[in-house]
Chain A
Amino acid sequence: MGRLLLPRVLQAGLVILVVGVLCFVLVRALPGDAAMRIAAGRYGPDANITEAAENVRRELGLDRPLLVQLGGSLGQLLRLDLGHSVVTGLPITKELRIQLGATLWLAGSALVLTILIGPAVGLAAGLRSGGFADRVSLGGAVILRSLPPFVLGLLLILLFAMNLGWFPPAGYGTWRDLALPALTLALGLAAISSRVTRDSVAGVMRAPYFTFARLKGLPPAVVVRRHVLRNAAIPVIAYLGLQAIYLIEGVVVVETLFGIPGIGHALVHAVIARDVPMVQGTALVMGLLFVVITAAVDLICHWLDPRPKRA
């Protein structure tokens, strides 16, 4: 278990390091005096702003050597001290806590939907490879894979919100608001997972133990339940780990498109406003969410298939 999670812990450390260093450089690369900017943000335009800026410089240690400052800011990150938003002035952690809820709802419902759609379609296709279901799902998957998430989301808005009027095109609050964004992500994910499931199921059905189970007289439904599902699930779940990238990137795009007040939405707006503490906080949480999902996938794979892996 520990050996399983160690790489993920290291990855989490790397996420903090990369985000922290990049944002540190970002603050120094922005034009103007950092101390002056912070002082203006704190006290507003003031007659003795230069004096205030000097105080800020001394207080935050902006006159220390750069490496010392970098060490200090990374230390702050490790203590989860993320600072204040330059735009709203609120503590970042407080804003993130509210936004994380929205993001988790979206990501969670997208995962549930895609697990309902992808493997089910893949199973139907794989049990009869080359059949009608196989060919239709193949065509659908090829087209869905060519659609960037924002185009797919836009098409769903145009179809279900503008033409049919079933769901609202944007907003956040009820499950109806969440339906289209979650469906956007779920369809994109299912395009891949359905094909992985299909190949995996077709592979199991060619395996000798499948033939043996049928020959000893088990009815097809029992064979599928007992022998096919768990064996076929291993690559499907392992693939979910790769899909975590698609999910995280998709969350950023879909939240922005549908106006869901989540972390991805906040990240994009922080980039536009150059609110560096907010960029740092949101990118950090998104990165760590990615690590948590991959770690969960590792654990599930280990539970499904406890045989030790060769390195």
Chain B
Amino acid sequence: MTLSDVTLIPVARQHWLTPSRAFGLGLLALLALFSLLGPVLLGHDPAAQNFAASLAQPGRDYLLGADHYGRSMLVRLAHGARLSFGMALLTVVTAAVPGVLFGLLAAWRGGVLERVLDFVATVLLALPGLLLVLILLAFAPGTFGPLYLGLALTLWIEFYRMTRATAATVLKQPHIEAARLLGFGSGYILRCYVLPEIRPILMTLTAFGMATAIIAISTLSAISVGLQPPTPELGAMIVELLPYYDEAPFHVLMPALLIVLLVLGLQLTARGEVR
């Protein structure tokens, strides 16, 4: 903690768009483009089989080859990326909205509400997130519902805590009191003084949360309790293709590389500086 943190003297803001964040955002933009346009432009069904092309090498007919059922790898990768992106975004938005709202409420009102929310957070954090998701998955193995619920239940806590801590420090500042005395309403104060302070943290937490969700979703389907084949899910694709590693090593590595690029892009975006 530096002196400026303690006294909250405004210091020159660090440049937001650091080179590594720019790289991360660029990577994410490319991947998002691939996952949004890929399924539309390629037009193929990710489940369309062609046994004549089983384990085809990358070439003219299949740009990135075909898997053991002769399904186009490129099409499946595009669908897999869209699935991962979409599910991660949905989970994080579901976690962020109540997290931020509860955080603001707790900082604003305090009292019983804050204590109840804190208790719920402590209860949920007693178990590592993956264990919670696994128990919930026992209700309905192989479906997205429990996965989504479990991840959102673990992820909202970070949003709640950060929002509450930041909002509580901001609300104690003299310029907030001045704004109140001048007769500005609560909505104005939240919008113009509190939200700008929360926004950068929100961005970081969203990117981290999405990385966590993408890792969890692919991991769980790789250990065959998450989404099942033939869903074009990246983790499931890796496991499906693993027995054919000797004939087609790149087929196994491509979905793995896609997961790594997704997570790398999100982490670089979240952190802002490489460290």
Residues of A within 8 A of B (CB): 11, 14-15, 17-19, 22-23, 26, 29, 138, 142-143, 145-151, 154-155, 158, 162, 195, 199, 244-245, 248-249, 252-253, 256-257, 267-268, 270-272, 274, 276, 279, 283, 286-287, 290-291
Contact = CB atoms under 8 A, between A and B. Distances in A.
Contacts of B218: 148, 150-151
B223 A286 contact: no
A267 B135 CA distance: 9
A244 B125 CA distance: 12
Contact of A252 (B123, B134, B238, B259): B134
Interface of B: 122-124, 126-132, 134-139, 141, 215, 218-219, 222-225, 235, 238, 242, 245, 249, 252, 256, 259-261, 263-264, 267-268, 274-275
Nearest to A14: B126
29 contacts: A11-B122, A14-B122, A15-B127, A18-B124, A26-B135, A138-B274, A142-B267, A142-B274, A146-B260, A150-B219, A150-B235, A151-B218, A151-B256, A154-B242, A155-B256, A158-B245, A158-B252, A245-B129, A248-B131, A249-B131, A252-B131, A253-B223, A256-B223, A257-B222, A268-B225, A270-B138, A271-B138, A279-B135, A290-B128
B135 A19 contact: yes
Contacts of B127: 15, 18-19, 283, 287, 290
A22 B136 contact: yes
Contacts of B267: 142, 145-146
Main SS at interface, chain A: helix
Contacts of A257: 222-223
A147 B135 contact: no
Contacts of B259: 148, 151
B126 A18 contact: yes
B141 A146 contact: no
Nearest to B275: A195
A245 B134 contact: no
Contacts of B274: 138, 142
Main SS at interface, chain B: helix
Contact of B138 (A155, A253, A256, A274): A274
A216 to B, nearest CB: 28
Contacts, number: 123
Contacts of A272: 141, 224-225
Contact of A11 (B126, B141, B249): B126
Nearest to B130: A249
B134 A162 contact: no
Contacts of B139: 26, 29
B214 to A, nearest CB: 8
A267 B235 contact: no
B250 to A, nearest CB: 12
B134 A271 contact: yes
B219 A149 contact: yes
A148 B263 contact: yes
B120 to A, nearest CB: 11
A22 B135 contact: yes
A253 B238 CA distance: 15
B131 A287 contact: yes
A19 B274 CA distance: 38
Contacts of A276: 138
**Among the interface residues B128, B222, B256, which one has the most CB atoms of the partner chain A within 10 A?**
B128
B178 to A, nearest CB: 30
Nearest to B136: A22
Contacts of A291: 126
Contacts of A26: 135, 138-139
A271 B128 contact: no
Contacts of B264: 142-143, 146
A149 B15 CA distance: 33
A311 B259 CA distance: 40
A268 B141 contact: no
Contacts of A256: 223
A155 B238 CA distance: 11
Contacts of A270: 138
Given A18-B126, A248-B128, A286-B131, A138 B219 contact: no
6 tightest Cβ-Cβ pairs between the two chains A and B: A14-B126, A146-B264, A249-B130, A148-B215, A146-B263, A256-B223
A253 B222 CA distance: 9
B223 A14 contact: no
Nearest to A245: B128
Contacts of B224: 268, 272
Given A26-B135, A146-B260, 9 more contacts: A11-B122, A18-B132, A26-B139, A145-B263, A253-B130, A253-B222, A272-B224, A283-B131, A290-B131
